[in-house]
Structure 1
Amino acid sequence: MSEGPWSFFQDLIVIMQETKGMDEPRSLNFNEVSFWVQCHNVPLSFSNKNILENIGAHIGLVEEVDQGESGSYLGSHIRIQVRLDIRKPLNKFVCVGVEDEEDVFILLTYERIPNLCYRCGVIGHSFRTCGEASEKNDKLKYGIWMKS
């Protein structure tokens, strides 16, 4: 179950949680998957594990914050592993309010994201097959730039 997310021909393979043998199949959760999210434009003053976990909590359930090779949370981006509900649209950014300063927009890119709809932001289908009503001239709200 480690080193995911797993996909096959750009379709996400949702791996359920470990079972205890007597669990009923309908009690298992197939709606959440762990992804590594790259956070770009993170101010140097935010390079603290607690602050980064707080940022990650705006994305999903935080599982890990990558310290990188230097062990100091510094670099071109910060990586946070989060568990996401794949039925909901992905976040494109996180807005963090800083006291006496302008809000900081932290841009997000997702590692190994398969089959993302650029219209609604949900994993599992493409914008061509999206059920969300729209005009052909609609601008897509999401894009390839969300994948890293």
Structure 2
Amino acid sequence: MKSTMANLWHPVKGVQICDLGEKRYLFQFFHAMDMNRVLKGSPWTFNNHLLVLYKLELGEDPLQIPLVLTHFWVQIYNIPTGFFSDNLAVQLGNFLGNFMEHDTSLLGKGNRNFMRIRVQIDIRRPLKRRKKISFGGNCSYVTFKYERLSLFCF
């Protein structure tokens, strides 16, 4: 696992990986840029198992941290025309978990008819697949597609 993840991430300044036992590993990056790139690229998997990453603060015990939250990019489909907005992105993100950000670079480009948001999700809870929304007296369902979803989550 250690060599696979190090080869996958290609950290510029390197990474040290220590097995802490209890299915926990400590990844020590030697440059903040490498660590931020790995955290931003989550979720990561190894052998179809989700790697739940957490950025330790000084003095925290890695064996005491509850590893139950992870970030996902989620695509939201079937949004009625004209209802793409920052407010809708935040509301739907908070419905799924905790809204982090949304990707505005895809809106209105080519054939893209979905919104893309990044959310922090509690992995102990079932994933949500759709939500009913009301607009102008009409109701519709938006559907969610989780990017890089491992078999663990199914």
As a proportion of its length, which structure holds more helix?
Answer: 2
What do the CA deviations read for 1:87-110 (whole angstroms, capped 9, x no partner)? Answer: 111001011123422x22001111
- Sequence identity, in percent? 26
As a proportion of its length, which structure holds more strand?
Answer: 2
Larger radius of gyration: 2
What is aligned with 1:31?
68
What is aligned with 1:9?
47
Contact 1:38–1:110, Cα closer than 8 Å, also in 2: yes
Deviation at 1:65, TM superposition (A): 0.8
TM-score (norm. length: structure 2): 0.66
Pick from 98, 106, 127: which aligns with 2:142? Answer: 106
* Residue 87 to residue 70, structure 1, CA distance change in 2 (3 Å): closer
Matched, 1:95 2:95: no
Whichever residue aligns with residue 22 of structure 1, its letter is: G
Contact 1:64–1:82, Cα closer than 8 Å, also in 2: yes
Contact 1:46–1:52, Cα closer than 8 Å, also in 2: no
Matched, 1:47 2:93: no
Whole-Å separation in 2 of the counterparts to 1:78 and 1:70? 7
Question: How many matched pairs?
Answer: 115
**Runs of 4 or more off by more than 3 Å in structure 1?**
24-27, 69-72
What is aligned with 1:82?
119
TM-score (norm. length: structure 1): 0.69
Matched, 1:62 2:103: no
- Gaps of at least 5 residues in structure 2 are 1-38
What do the CA deviations read for 1:79-137 (whole angstroms, capped 9, x no partner)? Answer: 11000011111001011123422x22001111001114xxxxxx2xx6xxxxxxxxxxx
RMSD (CA atoms): 2.1
Whole-Å separation in 1 of the counterparts to 2:56 and 2:124? 22
Most deviating of 50-59 and 81-90: 50-59
- Gaps of at least 5 residues in structure 1 are 117-122, 127-148
Deviation at 1:25, TM superposition (A): 3.7
Whole-Å separation in 2 of the counterparts to 1:84 and 1:61? 7
Deviation at 1:70, TM superposition (A): 5.2
What do the CA deviations read for 1:37-74 (whole angstroms, capped 9, x no partner)? Answer: 110101122111112211221111011111024578x9
Whichever residue aligns with residue 66 of structure 1, its letter is: D
